[in-house]
Amino acid sequence: MAKKSATIETSKGTIKAELFDTEVPGTVTNFEKLANSEFYDGTRFHRVIPNFM
């Protein structure tokens, strides 16, 4: 089974995050629902540390 992921487009570049739907299915479902409804559009990142993660 393919792993789920989320792609976040920002003015500073693209972030790709792995979603752990086997371990936390409710959290992933909720995140997907909010993301697909554009809930996070325009959300600001308060701190960006280059090469931190």
Report the share of the chain in percent with pLDDT over 70.
94
**pLDDT of res. 39:** 97
Q: What are the tens digits of pLDDT across the range 13-33?
A: 899 999 999 999 999 999 999
CA-only gyration radius of the chain, Å:
12
Query: Residue 7 pLDDT more than 90?
Result: yes
pLDDT average, residue stretch 8-14: 89
CA distance 21 to 29: 8
CA atoms 16, 4, 20, 28: torsion sign = positive
